[in-house]
């Protein structure tokens, strides 16, 4: 006892405090009580619907917020709990928030699971400081009744409030989305390699994925590549694409890839650096996710002013195939983009959206053969001219 006390001098105590104050940004993974499984003061009260709770550990609340339990009913409807035993439901204009430490200037992605309850159109507004986006939950992408989503932002401060708010105003004020499994990940943007202009070409860098989540993560509309949850890429359509992992899907390369959903309403793209008038190859891997997606599968690929569709027809037992589109760059930046040609659904439930898988996207310049031969022939022409004039002299 006496020995340990000697360590707790005021000086060492203040050092300890300083160390805690300077404690760096939030770690990757589940936020404090991000799964709403921590027992609140007084326990998980079997509160009547619409009563709300007094407090949720680690979260601040505004408006009617409920902790719903697995199997809980509202009228004839069983409320969906995406993970574990509990989740939070946000009533009209209700909000939950917690303060999070960031590394200023860094990019982050927030992953969360959400389910609709009563209304056809429900949305969640997610914000960190002044960065904000409203994510529509009206489309059911999976038969489970919930989906995981990701949203990206750049940390403008070292500390900010992460908030989820239900912007809806339903007749029944207790109606509103259910939220669960809130995680964070600091993103890094992989460097561009010498032989490939595409950033994050293999989709290996992206939002946090829970190892036990089998639905993948929806990446909603995101027009700004600076704040994308999938570094380098933008989702420029009003429907989402799905970020998938090799633990639950067939992934052509590495551990991550993208599954294209919703036909031409789900477009993923990137602007790549090019040299005008130079010829390039856009190559990519087209695959099947192994999720019982009803064929046919096909991808429409764009590079500059070229567009071509590629039907998925693997050889033998392969679950992916290579595709190639040659184009001539017209500008210093060229847009490459992909969408699914068809609206596909799973053959087992006929309602979950699915589609072709995209991975290993490369854009690389073809050898300077064309340019060289052009300048080469000019050079030869010049030489010939010199020789002719010399002979004439």
Q: Which stretches of the chain bind Ca ion, using CB under 5 A?
A: 202-203, 253-254, 256-257, 359
Give min distance, CB of 201 to Ca ion, in A. 9
Comparing CB distances to Ca ion, the nearer of 168 and 216 is 216
Comparing CB distances to Ca ion, the nearer of 254 and 290 is 254
Residue 202: exposed, middle, or buried by beta-carbon count in 10 A (0-12, 13-18, 19+)? buried
The C-alpha atoms of residue 281 and residue 36 are separated, in whole angstroms, by: 48
Instruction: Map tokens 């939030």 to a residue.
Output: 26
User: Which alpha helices (H) appear in 22-66, and where do they start and end?
Assistant: none
Comparing CB distances to Ca ion, the nearer of 147 and 359 is 359
Give min distance, CB of 347 to Ca ion, in A. 25
Give min distance, CB of 272 to Ca ion, in A. 18
Comparing CB distances to Ca ion, the nearer of 190 and 365 is 190
**Other Cβ atoms closer than 10 A to 162:** 23
| Residue whose C-alpha is closest to residue 279's, from 197, 192, 367, 361 | 367
Give min distance, CB of 131 to Ca ion, in A. 28
Closest residue to Ca ion in the complex (CB): 254
Give min distance, CB of 259 to Ca ion, in A. 12
Comparing CB distances to Ca ion, the nearer of 135 and 230 is 230
In what helix (H) or strand (E) does residue 63 lie, and over which residues does it extend? none
Token pair listed for 105: 């200037």
Comparing CB distances to Ca ion, the nearer of 101 and 250 is 250
Give min distance, CB of 204 to Ca ion, in A. 5
DSSP string, 254-314: SSEEEE--SGGGS-EEEEEE--TT-EEEEEEEEE--SS-BPSP-EEEEEETTEEEEEE---
Give min distance, CB of 338 to Ca ion, in A. 14
Comparing CB distances to Ca ion, the nearer of 179 and 297 is 297
How far from 335 is each of 143, 197, 273, 361, CA to CA, in Å? 34, 11, 9, 13
């Amino acid at each position: 006892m006496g020995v340990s006390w000697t360590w707790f001098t005021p000086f060492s105590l203040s050092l300890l405090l300083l160390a805690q104050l300077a404690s760096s940004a939030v770690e990757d993974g589940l936020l404090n009580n991000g799964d709403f499984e921590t027992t609140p003061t007084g326990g998980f009260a079997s509160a009547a619907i619409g009563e709300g709770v007094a407090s949720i550990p680690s979260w601040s609340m505004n408006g009617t917020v409920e902790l719903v339990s697995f199997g809980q009913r509202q009228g004839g409807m069983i409320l969906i709990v995406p993970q574990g035993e509990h989740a939070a439901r946000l009533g009209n204009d209700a909000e939950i928030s917690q303060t999070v430490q960031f590394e200023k200037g860094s990019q982050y992605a927030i992953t969360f699971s959400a389910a609709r309850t009563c209304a056809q159109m429900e949305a969640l507004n997610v914000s960190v400081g002044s960065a904000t986006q409203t994510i529509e939950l009206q489309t059911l992408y999976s038969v489970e009744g919930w989906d995981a989503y990701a949203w990206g932002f750049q940390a403008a401060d070292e500390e900010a409030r992460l908030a989820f708010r239900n912007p809806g105003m339903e007749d029944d004020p207790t109606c509103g989305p259910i939220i669960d499994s809130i995680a964070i990940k600091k993103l890094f943007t992989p460097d561009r390699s010498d032989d490939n202009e595409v950033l994050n070409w293999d989709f290996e860098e992206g939002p946090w994925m829970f190892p036990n989540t089998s639905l993948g993560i929806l990446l909603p509309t995101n027009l700004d590549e600076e704040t994308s949850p999938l570094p380098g890429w933008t989702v420029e359509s009003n429907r989402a694409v799905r970020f998938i992992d090799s633990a639950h899907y067939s992934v052509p390369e590495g551990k991550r890839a993208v599954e294209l959903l919703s036909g031409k309403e789900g477009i993923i793209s990137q602007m790549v650096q090019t040299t005008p008038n130079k010829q390039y190859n856009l190559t990519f891997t087209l695959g099947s996710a192994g999720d019982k997606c009803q064929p046919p599968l096909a991808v429409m690929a764009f590079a500059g002013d070229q567009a071509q569709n590629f039907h998925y027809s693997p050889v033998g037992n392969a679950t992916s195939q290579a595709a190639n589109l040659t184009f001539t760059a017209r500008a210093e930046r060229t847009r490459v983009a992909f969408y699914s040609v068809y609206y596909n659904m799973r053959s087992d439930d006929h309602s979950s959206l699915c589609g072709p898988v995209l991975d290993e996207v490369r854009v690389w310049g073809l050898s300077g053969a064309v340019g060289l031969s052009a300048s080469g022939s000019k050079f030869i022409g010049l030489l010939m001219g010199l020789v002719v004039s010399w002979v004439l002299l």
